[in-house]
Amino acid sequence: MQADAQTGLLVECLIMAPFGLAWLIWLHHQGLGHFTDSPAAAFWLFLAGPMTVAPLVLFSWAARRMPLSTIGFIQFIAPTLSFVIGVSQGEPFNLTRLVSFAFIWGGAAVFLAAAMHRARAARRALKDAAGPA
């Protein structure tokens, strides 16, 4: 059975919601829950779900309108930002990490160069098919 991305996300959330609720109830009965600590805590914990789902819904909406090759390339942004943040916060950065980072972005550069080459070839083919102007 096929479903679009938003429907799939809704079904996943509906399936997982009872387990999450049971876990929250168990935590509360063990004295480990924080939902009733203060109105501010309840407010932020209540919004945690929608704040998590909103980017997923927006991504699935946008992903249907973009080529998969573009989405794949954009997926390099999050790990790179995490890498930069980690290094700026004191994460050890040695030669092995530098080499692996260079290989990852080298692969991305090869992919980008091939995509640009294909796009130029397609433009040339369209221009040649249109004939002299």
In Å, what is the CA distance from 14 to each residue of 7, 17, 27, 51? 10, 5, 20, 16
Report CA Rg, the chain: 23
Measured in whole angstroms, the distance separating CA 34 from the mean position of its chain's CA atoms is 28
Residue 105 pLDDT: 84
Task: Output helix, strand, coil percentages for the chain, rounded to the nearest 5.
Answer: 80, 0, 20
pLDDT by 10s per residue, the chain, length 133: 777 777 888 888 899 999 999 998 999 899 888 877 889 988 998 899 889 889 888 888 888 888 887 787 778 788 888 888 999 999 998 999 889 889 988 988 888 898 889 989 988 888 888 767 5
Residues 6+ apart with CB under 8 A from 34: 41, 45
Residue position matching structure tokens 């550069």: 109
Residue 14 pLDDT: 92
